[in-house]
């Protein structure tokens, strides 16, 4: 059964106040058609979990400039000065998480774990308000898992069953996000018939992917 849907059908899955995971590093590996559809629909009060907030005029940055996000959970703001301006003006809640910690929080959310123990941030402002755990005399922070209502990811190739292949650095956070959301939409450059992808090449099994749109 084909999982291909239209861009309009994909946009219908998103609602105001949704928690979204969006793949990419700056705009490399970001599902820009899906992000543009959210901008066009004008959804508000979104919580966005991503590596960064990109550029003001591309990808996730458009959601910031358009004031559609109430909160972002990111490792850095990217090259988007508007994110920093809104953060400093208390117009946007920004939760900064070290990059390695952020991806492990997403991974643990996808695996159904209770979080991840990390030494990163111990003794710094990162540790404020967080639980610490001592293991064999060493102190770790308990970083809680992250999950989303919907993950929007980008892939290079998919078959009709949703098995995904990524190309080079565009893989970044996309595979982990595909496991950590209630509904997953993949924007794909090349959609091929089922059976044309060698099982050994599959990077995300189709069981994690609910819908596909053509990039």
If you write DSSP's letter for every residue of 2-59 in order, what string do you get? Answer: --B--HHHHHHT--TT-EEEE--BTTBT--HHHHHHHHHHT--SEEEE-S---BTTBT
Any idea of the CA torsion for 78, 29, 181, 57, to the nearest 10 degrees?
50
The span from the CA of 107 to the CA of 208, in Å, is 13
3-state secondary structure at position 68: coil
Q: What is the pLDDT of residues 190-214, one digit of tens each?
A: 999 999 999 999 999 999 999 999 9
> Hey, where are the domains in the chain?
7-113+145-214
Instruction: Report the predicted TM-score, pTM, of the whole model to 2 decimal places.
Output: 0.95
SS3 175: helix
d(CA 166, CA 152): 14
Furthest-apart CA pair in the chain: how many Å? 54
Phi/psi region, residue 45 (left: phi>0; alpha: psi -120 to 50; beta: rest), is left
With 90 as the cut, is the pLDDT of residue 62 above it? yes
CATH code for residues 7-113+145-214: 3.40.1080.10
133 DSSP 8-state letter:
E
Q: Of 60, 75, 69, 56, which is closest to residue 28 (Cα–Cα)?
A: 60
Q: What is the pLDDT of residue 78?
A: 76
Predicted pLDDT at 124: 93
Q: What is the pLDDT of residues 139-191, one digit of tens each?
A: 999 999 999 999 999 999 999 999 999 999 999 999 999 999 999 999 999 99
């Amino acid at each position: 059964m084909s999982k291909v849907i239209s861009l309009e059908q994909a946009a219908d899955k998103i609602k105001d106040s949704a928690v979204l995971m969006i793949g990419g590093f700056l705009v490399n590996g970001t599902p820009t058609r899906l992000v543009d559809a959210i901008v066009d629909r004008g959804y508000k009060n979104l919580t966005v979990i991503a590596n960064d907030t990109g550029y003001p005029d591309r990808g996730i940055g458009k959601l910031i400039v358009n004031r559609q996000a109430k909160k972002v959970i990111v490792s850095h703001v990217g090259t988007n000065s508007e994110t920093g301006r809104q953060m400093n003006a208390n117009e946007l809640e920004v939760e900064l998480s070290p990059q390695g910690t952020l991806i492990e929080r997403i991974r643990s959310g996808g695996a159904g774990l209770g979080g991840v123990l990390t030494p990163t941030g111990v003794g710094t402002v990162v540790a404020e308000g967080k639980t610490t755990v001592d293991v064999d005399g060493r102190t770790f922070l308990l970083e809680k898992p992250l999950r989303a209502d919907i993950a929007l990811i980008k892939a290079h190739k998919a078959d009709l069953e949703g098995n995904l292949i990524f190309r080079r650095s565009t893989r970044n956070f996309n595979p982990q996000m595909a496991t950590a959301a209630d509904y997953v939409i993949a924007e794909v450059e090349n959609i091929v018939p089922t059976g044309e992808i060698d099982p050994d090449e599959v990077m995300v099994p189709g069981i994690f992917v609910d819908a596909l749109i053509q990039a």
